[in-house]
Amino acid sequence: MIYAILMAGGMGTRLEVPEEKPLFKLHDKPLIKYVIDNLNASELIDKIVIAVSPNTRETTRYLESLNDDFIILDTSGDDYLKDLSYILDYFENKSKEDILLFINADLPFISTETIDYVIDYYLGNDKDALSVIVPVEVFEKLGLKYSYEFNGCVPSGLNILRSENIIQEETQLVLKKVELALNINTIPDSEIAEKLYYKYYV
């Protein structure tokens, strides 16, 4: 099976708003709902699993109110890598043959078409892991800040792993797409997102 793992358990302190980061609204719609809708529209994803934590209890209540056909999985929320390891263990205990697409809850512009393209690319590759990276020029053109760069590219927050908690051989997919660069970490990020909203959703 192909699972989409929507990561929604972080503290999101850089955004500096009263609400939890997944519930921060872009045009009156929570960030996480954009991602859920785009994942639901995929023809390749079999099931959505949303990883929450004690940091995002309001998000959990919001998700429960949607009555959607996804699984809510509790994690510690202490550390991304710790939660990733927990999730891999969880799925490995079920099967070592599943495909897990990890996506962050603060990426409202990643389209269904891009999600399916990435999955198709992965299925046509012989590596167990895939990371999607974005050239720094995409960030610089928009005035977006990034916290990590390697060989001129920035991690997008979209990755694929097999359902095994082991080191997996990885291939990288470079995509020069604004939708992959615009994760909402700060208020300036959200202001740029507001300007680009009509390009993606109207």
pLDDT, tens digit, 9 for 90 and up, residues 81-127: 999 999 999 999 999 999 999 999 999 999 999 999 999 999 999 99
Mean pLDDT to the nearest integer, 32-49: 97
Characterize the bridge pairing of strands 129-135 and 71-74: unpaired
- Least confident stretch, 6-20, 30-44, 47-61, 154-168: 6-20
Going from N- to C-terminal start, the domains of the chain cover 2-201
Number of alpha carbons in the 13 Å side-chain half-sphere of residue 189: 25
- pLDDT score of 156 more than 90: yes
pLDDT at residue 202 greater than cutoff 60:
no
pTM equals 0.93
Fold of 2-201: Spore Coat Polysaccharide Biosynthesis Protein SpsA; Chain A (3.90.550)
* Averaged pLDDT, 21-38: 94
Give 146's pLDDT tier (boundaries 50, 70, 90). confident
Q: For residue 147, what pLDDT is reported?
A: 83
Structure-derived torsion over alpha carbons of residues 106, 108, 114, 120, reported in degrees to the nearest 10: 50
